[in-house]
Structure 1
């Protein structure tokens, strides 16, 4: 390198003094005397005759000093490009396949009345009504070749309840998609929290899903409530709770793992974040549930969102929400987790009643929350300007109050969805900051008759293979929403005999919502689930459950499709 060669002649000159401790650049006759600071100073102080002027001498000295420094830098640079010792080398990152694990879905237990005061945590519950019933419905898909993964419904502590498939087989080598079959759970009665589990098959996560449905036709908790059997996680957002008079909100935390979980709660209300003693360090032992009465932490909140964070074992979380207006039951629901905070949230399966009937009932005292509404939670420090779009069967519908709302930071903002024509809708919300969204769906427009309520959580974009269990009884409707352009959605019935029937398709235009009422049977066999796939532009789906002749209602966003093998970058150092 040229910079490295600059100082070489002085170091190798025959006249240089090479004794230990000597500097070859200052040896007599080396020609480098003026390159040292001392020599340069002497030359400037007393220039001999015939030498350069002091100004030119100073310039020459500085140039020489710069040359020496550059030479030293060149030597360092050259050393940096030299081969490094083998012990400090980094091996380039490679992608390693990580096999997917088993499928685990935790189903909350039956809705129950609180005994005694609502203050505090870990409440006792009274027996449910005489007509109350809770059932779990689920389906597990086989690998190509028809081999089902080992799967079962168990109690939270691992005690087996019912076997779905024994497992242990090997997929066929030449089998195609037409050989896929299903293991089904067609409405198994439960009296506590359960776990729907399916083993991984050849490193692939199985496609499995379950739904728990509660129904009652008498008592304070009459109505229906449904919840997905959700995979445990360490970070969950739940929105839609209320702790005002006549509203009961109980957060149920379930730990299906073998590791203790320490849970902390962040609470957001109408006026901002709530600092509540007793909301941190909640221990949930393995194989157990822990119930927290939210009114004991944040009383008098018309809208309450809960951020659940778990250290150690992951947990499943659901809020049992019930309403009692005086002596009139106002409904029961399980509020499940929605999508994590994001700049865009989409909710579908929103059922809105006649605008006139809603206006009449919400004008009655104590019925302010008997109409449809959107809850926007902004966890960050900045307000969110949220644009709300409502898409129905015939396209976008205008909101009477306008489509742009400012949601306060660290608080929950309610946006009414009343005033639009009756029907099924998809709600698209977007902002410049991240937020959480959920929607309240209500049935019943009479103040002296029992009504029901459900909360729709925000969902994720549909993919290639979603298992959607459909509990038997009542009206069951698949609701699909597409925001832009078009999407093609296929849905294949899964019947009680384990067969996956031929798929039907729906071509859904952008900016619309399509509803498909489901049959009870296909070819004489009960329909237990559907396998749903979408192609084209972004589509979203939900299952809407109702009961003819009653005001019962529940709405469930589709669970994400099973993930296959993932590849992660692995860097090795030594």
Structure 2
């Protein structure tokens, strides 16, 4: 018997090694593309053996793929999702680290209201939309679902040949727990939608006013402004409105340094699940605490319910919302400073206006601060340069500015996060506080569902140059009114009462052009109530993914 191998030849061998390897490479490439298309699409570059995939940003922002001439494929948009935090509740009982606290009944006068708005496409098609529980059960429906095949078609005009937009609005929705607005995509684009929650109480430990711009879930967010001093409760509330699980990791930084605890990592949230965490379990007796919430898997919603109790006297309540990601530049619009005569005694430190700067890095940060009011740039109390040690939070008092509304701009040699506290009232008449988070530059198609229960002011700030902000009011019947244009020229802050612009507006479409302009809401309620929710981010356009199938 011969030891030589059999001389049989497979079909693959008959085709030649080049053909076989070429087909194998193409199959492997297709599997890589399918994996990436099934995942989330963002401004990232993914490289694999034998080829590459690059994802372009929204509205065709240039990417490495674009520079290389790589073909882009459009990716269908998902539903628009905006989650509102629950009504504020009093924390009681054991607050062991990493566990959900117990809650007690509180105010007899407390009231809360949700408002949601959804805008049609140019063909006046309203997307299927509803306010739901975290598990997806309907609480209130805004518009019936459109057949998926029909919804996927882009439509620039109605069946009659006309184009335009209309809206649908639901106000006064009574839901004390997490509430999620979901709107189906139309024509391959995320639908324009928005939701807000307002809370007000005149008695109890949580007396005060708080409003939230309900936000989409995120995989990475920074929240500043919490306090864990005696009588102050910072409650981090997490929720997962997605259909898949999330694993959450926390970074908690205070004025005395960074928290180091094992239970900051690996917090698992299944679909529809929530978790409430008392921040004092990580850093106790600290007046300035910031928290970063990052998740793998599903994106999550995060907000801090912050309340103050000075002895037996309530000192206000606020939703602390996520601001901008850490970076060398931060802008905080909507800061309000009261008259000097309305400021409390110096020993009530957290009832005075203040800027907080968080440095989460390992090196000291030197931050230059600029402040603008209606008349232009003003001197910074205490000096324009603030040094922030590594892994800590530094503060800058703002009560020396004088009465008015301000925009604060920061430039740092290290990545930082910023926010500012505003106060309203006196120790005799009752105090409340609002928190202004850092903001993103305004763009096109911001939909603001106006918070209920109190008058709303819009605050716009610019660090220089000329810019315009266009406002289109939406009425309760869904009609979209005539546009009003606000001009900002130079470094300034402008504040407008929404009732003066449009008394009957329940929602507002906001567009900005020209030089960079930033905005916030300033809500002033009865009984010295104050809250400073953000202006929602601009609507996302078509996302695309660029695929390089060359070897």
Q: Please say whether Structure 1 and Structure 2 have the same fold, judged by a TM-score greater than 0.5.
A: yes
1:532 deviation in Å?
0.5
What pairs up with 1:412-431 in 2 under 5 angstroms?
Answer: 412-431=393-412
Q: Does structure 1 residue 405 correspond to structure 2 residue 386?
A: yes
In 2, Cα distance between equivalents of 1:312 and 1:105: 18
- Helix, strand or coil at the partner of 1:509: strand
Q: What does residue 545 of structure 2 align with?
A: 568
- Helix, strand or coil at the partner of 1:295: helix
Q: What does residue 136 of structure 2 align with?
A: 158
What pairs up with 1:211-360 in 2 under 5 angstroms?
Answer: 211-358=196-343
1:433 deviation in Å?
1.3
CA contact (8 A) 2:157 2:163 kept: no
1:566 deviation in Å?
1.9
In 2, Cα distance between equivalents of 1:90 and 1:519: 57
Q: What does residue 430 of structure 2 align with?
A: 450
Long gaps (5+) in structure 1: 1-84
1:460 deviation in Å?
0.6
The one-character-per-residue Cα deviations of 1:154-213 (angstroms, maximum 9, x if unpaired) are 011111000011141667544599620111121211110010111100100111111111
Q: What does residue 113 of structure 1 align with?
A: 90
Q: What does residue 472 of structure 2 align with?
A: 492
1:127 deviation in Å?
2.1
In 1, Cα distance between equivalents of 2:162 and 2:427: 52
CA contact (8 A) 1:362 1:369 kept: no
CA contact (8 A) 1:138 1:528 kept: no
TM-score, normalization by structure 2: 0.84
Alignment: residue pair count: 483
Q: Does structure 1 residue 535 correspond to structure 2 residue 536?
A: no
Q: What does residue 32 of structure 2 align with?
A: none
CA contact (8 A) 1:276 1:298 kept: no
Match of 2:350 among 369, 386, 403: 369
Shift in CA distance, 356/383, structure 1 to aligned 2, threshold 3 Å: farther
1:395 deviation in Å?
0.7
CA contact (8 A) 2:197 2:452 kept: no
- Helix, strand or coil at the partner of 2:349: coil
Q: What does residue 183 of structure 1 align with?
A: 168
In 1, Cα distance between equivalents of 2:549 and 2:130: 40
Higher relative contact order (CA 8 A, sep 6+): 2
1:93 deviation in Å?
3.3
CA contact (8 A) 1:475 1:547 kept: yes
What pairs up with 1:495-510 in 2 under 5 angstroms?
Answer: 495-510=475-490
In 1, Cα distance between equivalents of 2:292 and 2:104: 28
- Helix, strand or coil at the partner of 1:391: strand
- Helix, strand or coil at the partner of 1:511: strand
CA contact (8 A) 1:119 1:295 kept: no
In 1, Cα distance between equivalents of 2:163 and 2:434: 37
Shift in CA distance, 520/147, structure 1 to aligned 2, threshold 3 Å: farther
Shift in CA distance, 236/504, structure 1 to aligned 2, threshold 3 Å: same
Q: What does residue 37 of structure 1 align with?
A: none
1:362 deviation in Å?
3.5
In 1, Cα distance between equivalents of 2:387 and 2:85: 35
In 2, Cα distance between equivalents of 1:334 and 1:217: 17
What pairs up with 1:9-28 in 2 under 5 angstroms?
Answer: none
1:128 deviation in Å?
3.6
CA contact (8 A) 1:328 1:448 kept: no
Structure with bigger gyration radius: 1
- Helix, strand or coil at the partner of 1:419: helix
Match of 2:182 among 182, 197, 202: 197
What pairs up with 1:46-61 in 2 under 5 angstroms?
Answer: none
In 2, Cα distance between equivalents of 1:211 and 1:362: 34
CA contact (8 A) 1:151 1:163 kept: yes
Match of 1:467 among 426, 447, 458: 447
In 2, Cα distance between equivalents of 1:258 and 1:543: 32
In 2, Cα distance between equivalents of 1:336 and 1:173: 36
In 1, Cα distance between equivalents of 2:157 and 2:242: 37
Shift in CA distance, 281/498, structure 1 to aligned 2, threshold 3 Å: same
1:508 deviation in Å?
0.9
CA contact (8 A) 2:442 2:511 kept: yes
- Helix, strand or coil at the partner of 2:125: coil
Task: Give the alignment's Cα RMSD to 1 decimal.
Answer: 2.1
In 2, Cα distance between equivalents of 1:186 and 1:527: 12
1:355 deviation in Å?
2.9
1:521 deviation in Å?
9.7
What pairs up with 1:30-179 in 2 under 5 angstroms?
Answer: 93-120=70-97, 121-168=99-146, 172-174=155-157, 179=164
CA contact (8 A) 1:183 1:498 kept: yes
In 2, Cα distance between equivalents of 1:90 and 1:248: 52
In 1, Cα distance between equivalents of 2:156 and 2:290: 49
Long gaps (5+) in structure 2: 1-20, 26-49, 53-68
In 1, Cα distance between equivalents of 2:179 and 2:205: 24
The one-character-per-residue Cα deviations of 1:239-296 (angstroms, maximum 9, x if unpaired) are 1111010001110000111222221111111122110242222122211211001111
- Helix, strand or coil at the partner of 2:176: coil
CA contact (8 A) 1:348 1:557 kept: no
- Helix, strand or coil at the partner of 1:556: coil
CA contact (8 A) 2:106 2:205 kept: no
Shift in CA distance, 521/138, structure 1 to aligned 2, threshold 3 Å: farther
